[in-house]
Amino acid sequence: MKVLKNFFKILKYSLKTNKAAILISLFVGLLGGIIMFLPLIFGEQILNLVYDAKNFEFIDIFVVALIYVSLTFVASILNLLLNRYFDCIKMFLYQNTDILLAKRNLTLDYEILEKEENKLKLQRARDGQNSSGGVGSFIQNFSSIIQNIFVLALGLFYVSKLFTYDNSIENTNNLMKFANSWYSGLIIIVILILGVIISVFVLKVVYKINEKLFEANVDANHRFLYFFRLSEDYRFGKDARIFNLKEIVFKRMKECNKYLNDSFGKASKKAANITLITTIFTTFVSFISYLFVTLKAYYGIIDIGSIISVVGSVTNILTALITLVNIIQNMMLQSNYLSNFYDYLTLDNEKIKDEVSIDEVKAPYVFEFKNVSFKYPNSDQYALDNVSFTLGNYDKTAIVGKNGAGKSTIIKLIARFYKPEKGEILVNGININRFNFKDYQKLFAIVFQDFTLFAFSIKENVAANKQIDEELIKKDLDNVNFDYKKFDKGIDTFLYKYLEEGVEVSGGEAQKIAIARALYKDSDYVFLDEPTSALDPISEAEIYSLFDKLVNNKKAIYISHRMSSTKFCDNIIVIDKGKIIECGNHETLMKIPNGVYKDLFDSQAKYYK
């Protein structure tokens, strides 16, 4: 039942993605079936004409042969064109799946995106697609089903001649009597049914072998692809050469490859041995068919040309039945892993009840954490443990603490990447989860500790989704001391070497671009989460001092384990092991004997003198 459900899921997805794909697959299937039967249809006619040459002129044979060649030529050309177009559709389906996945990845709630079960679902779908084809392959199999059903129907029409009998013929012996009976054709039908039963059994065993093979190789495929992509990543190249990592990468790839080859080898051997039964039986059926049809033709019960059409049809029917069972089982296997795509694409973000427009809340905006506790998925330790504080009552706030204290978690919760397990976060008294997410994001700009720049131009990296104002972009870059003029194309220069004209920038330069991006967004709040970690302490202090002037009309929240941002902040929140342990301004906190803040500042003060 589950398999059928998955099958119809993918069929529904295929129709939704490209309706033409199903229509073209239908035409390709029917045309393929016609091409298979043209030699049998015209072969029968030509053989009958040759056998009865006394009553026919050569021109009759020539005309039949010309019609056959012409139809075959037209059908073949049409089939070629349709298959070319079908190949384009398959490519579109493959790429469109990637586009839909990218769209889903970028619109899903971050918490849903990061869940291991969803990551695994997507990985299984990818691995399945790589090993057995994607949606395009699924549609191609659908086309093969149409073709073989057509072949089956047309084949049964010709096989019906086996039930032909002629009462005007005198049965001179028992063999002739049997051949000239309506029930004699049942022998072939029984053999065909027996062939289908055997084929179903054989292919079911093969299906189980392939299913187990796929399940067993998911992890190995994943690891192999990781190491392969690692070898392609030029950013890995420096470390790989300095530390001579190529040997360990090659070793891991060879281990994965050996495991995969051994698995496929064993599975292929088992499948080949079991499939041999079907091959032997098909040969036996063809032999019996020739014997039986020749017997009917010998006694004049059917015309001589029927030997070609009937025997060919019997072979086609048996092949079509075996192929149908095989294709359907392949499609069932495909639908099992492709359904992961469908399920992933139909994941829903949590619906907002009683949604509130951010426009209904008037500035200044004040964030309030009320008894908030949170731990990351698959972790038993609380990153934040019953914390309460406000942001916005002061123009500049620093949140400081040692690495792993829970500082960055505050930003992720404010950004609604995760939801608190206990407590709530409010903006002007309203739970942040009630706001429209897109509108809510306009409240703040964030420079993350692990920020990302893209292989876009510098100006596109700064502007992001906002309209490009080149003068303002240059101003923001100048304000963070980023020298874009050193590049020939200035702010039109592309970053990174994914493109031929791309340039590499240092970690410090990248952070300056990220800070300029935050400034360009022009939000009420600017959060800086360890934004200067790639800078030396002196440069860091200079950036913070400069940034302090740049955000003089905004609320600035600095998050760091380094103290260069704290002296000019109105309020400092000190976090340790997920709890707020100190709060106040620089002067107040420095007066606390053996205070955490005082110890942190004193240990780093020499770098800022």
Walk me through the domains of the chain, giving residue ranges and CATH numbers: 2-215+275-345 (1.20.1560), 358-450+525-542+553-607 (3.40.50.300)
How many Å apart are CA 379 and CA 381, to the nearest integer?
6
Q: What is the pLDDT of residues 45-59, one digit of tens each?
A: 777 777 765 566 677
* pLDDT tens per residue across span 130-178: 666 677 777 788 888 888 888 888 888 887 777 777 776 766 677 777 7
The model's pLDDT over 173-224, given as tens digits with 9 standing for 90+, comes to 777 777 777 777 777 778 777 777 777 777 777 777 777 776 666 667 777 7
Confidence of residue 387 (pLDDT cuts 50, 70, 90): very high
pLDDT of residue 7: 66
DSSP track, 434-483: GB-HHHHGGGEEEE-TT----SSBHHHHHHTTSPP-HHHHHHHHHHTT--
How far is the C-alpha of 154 from the C-alpha of 142, rounded, in Å? 19
- Bridge partners of residue 277, in order along the sequence: none
pLDDT digits (tens, 9 = 90+) for 447-503: 888 888 888 899 999 998 888 999 999 998 988 888 989 988 899 998 887 666 788
Task: Write out the two tokens for 436.
Answer: 């429209």
Quick check: 608 pLDDT over 60? no
What lies within 8 Å, CB to CB, of 359 at 6+ separation is 439
| Count of other CB atoms within 10 angstroms of residue 328 | 18
DSSP 184: G
Identify the weakest region by mean pLDDT among 129-133, 361-365, 396-400, 418-422: 129-133
Average pLDDT over residues 532-559: 71
pLDDT at site 368 = 93
